[in-house]
Amino acid sequence: MPRVGGNLIYVSQLIDAGYAVSFESARCTISKGRNTSISNRKGNLYYLLAEIPKAISYQGLRTNKSVPEAIEVWYKRLGHRTLDQAAIQYLKLRVTDFKIDNEKEAGSASTICETCASGRQHKESMTGSREKPCELLAVVHSDISGPMQVSTISGERHCITFIDEMSGRIAVSLLKMQSEWLGAFQGYKAGGEKEAAHEIKRVRTDGVGEYVRQAFSSYMLINGIVTFLFWLSYFIAFF
């Protein structure tokens, strides 16, 4: 009869094989019919030092020999890496005990990961499509940010951005207070219109903060600039 030595034994496998396992504070008893073995406890482990029947060692002995796993299991273990035949052959040369029991199914429909397939799908735009302006300053996007936690050396804690939709050119102005936005817009308007030789026709904003003040509407109305709220255009396109 063999000795188990320093290997570990699965208690669940012994029980499934019909053995009775009883644990006490200082020892463990394994029995089946007339066969009985006793192990002594040392620390947190029970050491089976006596000779035991072959059936016990065969049924409960845990070995480090790997068993083939389904390709789906290896796929998840390797971080959802594609496992086609080329990848499998590459990994076999570099990964110890890389064994697949359904290797022939690599790349088949049954091995497609639904999670990865869903994650790679592109979502259609919910805002619809619209024509891009064909001249500079036809549509200008503007947004105000702040207050920032840290101010600049000059004391600015806000900023306002202006983006020309046609060219993608961006202009940024720093503000000490949000109420200074009108002066920043007037400066952008004067310099931008002179450089582009076109007037600002539309301004698109998010419709919050200083953009909803009466001063904003009045100034745009006087200068013949159409204002368009981003959230309103999104709402109309969605429904």
Q: What is the domain partition of the chain in residue ranges?
A: 8-62, 71-112, 139-238
**pLDDT bracket for residue 235 (50, 70, 90):** very low
**pLDDT bracket for residue 238 (50, 70, 90):** very low
Q: Output phi, psi for 230, to 5 deg.
A: -60, -45
- Between helix 181-196 and helix 214-222 the angle, nearest 10°, is 20
Query: In whole angstroms, what is the distance from residue 101 CA to residue 68 CA?
Result: 5
Which pair of structure tokens corresponds to residue 184? 């920043």
For the chain, how long is the longest CA-to-CA vector?
105
Sheet holding 35-42, edge to edge: 20-23, 27-32, 35-42, 45-47
Q: What is the pTM of this model?
A: 0.43
CATH architecture under which domain 139-238 falls: 2-Layer Sandwich (3.30)
Q: Contact 140/163 with Cβ under 8 angstroms?
A: yes
Tens digits of residue pLDDT in 128-152: 666 778 889 888 898 888 888 888 9
